Structure 1
C-alpha cells in the first residue's frame, strides 16, 4: 500500500491531485503544449503509474485542469473586488486583478488549454467564466447607478482584453497598469463623487 502523507486517505488523495494539477499547469505555461503523464508525474514527485491512480489519461488530467483554472481566476477577481469597501474602487480592482493574472501567466495557461484540449467542455467553461467574471462588475455598476451597466461592463472588459494583448506582445505590466489608471481613474473618481454628493 502506498505511503499516506496526510491525516486521511481523502486528504492524501486531494493533495496528490493538487500536485498533479499544479505540475500540469506549470508545464503547460512553460511549453504551451500538453505535457505527458510521465512529465507531470515527475514534476509532481510521483512515479508515472501513480499518476494514473488519480487521472485515467492525459486528456482526463487536462479536463480536470480546465475545471481548476477558470474558477480560480474568477475567485481571485471576486476576492479583489470584495476587498474594496467603495463600489467605484471595485471597478479598478476588477481590471487590475485581471491584468495581474495575465502577467502571472494564467492567460497563457488558458490559451494553451484551448489549443491542446479543445471541445465543448472547454467552450462551456470559458463562456461560464466570462459570465461569472462580468456579474460582480455589472452588479457594481448597477449599484453606482450607471445607465446601462451590462454595456459599460463590456466596455470595461475591452480594456482588459486590450491590456492582455499589450502584455502578451511584451509591454511591461507597470506601463499597462499606469495607462489603465490614467484612463479609468477619472471614471472611477467621478462615480465615487456621484455616490458621496
Structure 2
C-alpha cells in the first residue's frame, strides 16, 4: 500500500489533487495551456505520471477543474467583500478594491491565461459563463446606479478594471490604483445618469 502523507486517505487524496492543480496552474501561467500535460503536471507536483490519472482522466479534465477552482476562489472573495453592503456605490467600491487585492495576490493570472488559451470548446464556454457570473455583482450595482445602458457600461468598466489589475500586477500600489480607478468610475457613472 502506498504511503499517505495525511491523517486519512481522503485527506491525502485531497492534498494530492490540490498539488496537481497548483502545478497545473503554475505551468498554465508560465507556459500556456498546451504545456499542461499529465507528464509535466505530475513531474511539477512530484507525482508519477500514472498518479495523475487517479485524479483526472485527461489534461482537459484538469483544465476544467482549474477553471472551476480559479473562479470559485475569486467569487468567494467577492461575495465576502460585498456582504452587508446595501448601497450600489459601496458595492462598486468593494468589488473594485477586492479585484485589485486579488490581482496583487496573483489570483487573476490563471483566469487570464485560460481566457487566452486554446481550450476545448466546452472549457471556453465554461470560462465565459463563469466570467459572466463573476461580473454579475458589478453589473447589478451599476444597473442600480442608473446609467442608460448598464450592460455596455459594465463592459467598459471591465476594461478600466482590467487596466487597473494590469497596473497592480506590474507593481503599482493596489490602494493607489484603487483610489484612482474609483475616482474615474464615479465621474464616469455620474456623467451617464
In structure 2, what is the equivalent of residue 54 of structure 1?
55
In structure 2, what is the equivalent of residue 183 of structure 1?
184
Contact 2:89 2:145 in 1 (8 A): no
In structure 2, what is the equivalent of residue 139 of structure 1?
140
Please tell me whether residue 81 in structure 1 is matched to residue 77 in structure 2.
Answer: no
Change (3 A) 1:127 1:115: closer
Q: Give the distance between the partners of 1:130 and 1:116, measured in 2 at CA.
A: 15
Q: Give the distance between the partners of 1:64 and 1:72, measured in 2 at CA.
A: 12
In structure 2, what is the equivalent of residue 69 of structure 1?
70
TM-score, with length taken from structure 2: 0.74
Q: How does 1:1-197 map to 2 (within 5 A)?
A: 1-32=1-32, 34-82=35-83, 84=85, 86-141=87-142, 144=144, 146=146, 148=148, 149-167=150-168, 170=170, 172-174=172-174, 175-184=176-185
**Number of equivalences:** 187
Q: Give the distance between the partners of 1:110 and 1:83, measured in 2 at CA.
A: 27
TM-score, with length taken from structure 1: 0.73
Contact 2:60 2:120 in 1 (8 A): no
Bigger drift between 17-26 and 2-11 goes to: 2-11
Deviation of the 1:80 alpha carbon: 1.8
Report SS of the residue matched to 2:108.
helix
Q: Give the distance between the partners of 2:145 and 2:158, measured in 1 at CA.
A: 18
Query: Which structure 2 residue ranges, 5 or more long, are not aligned?
Result: none
Query: Which structure 1 residue ranges, 5 or more long, are not aligned?
Result: 191-197
In structure 2, what is the equivalent of residue 193 of structure 1?
none
Contact 1:137 1:153 in 2 (8 A): yes
Contact 1:32 1:109 in 2 (8 A): no
Query: What is the CA deviation profile of residues 142-162 of structure 1, one whole-angstrom value per residue up to 9, with x for unaligned ones?
Result: 5x5635544443343232133
Bigger drift between 81-90 and 123-132 goes to: 81-90
Change (3 A) 1:80 1:187: farther
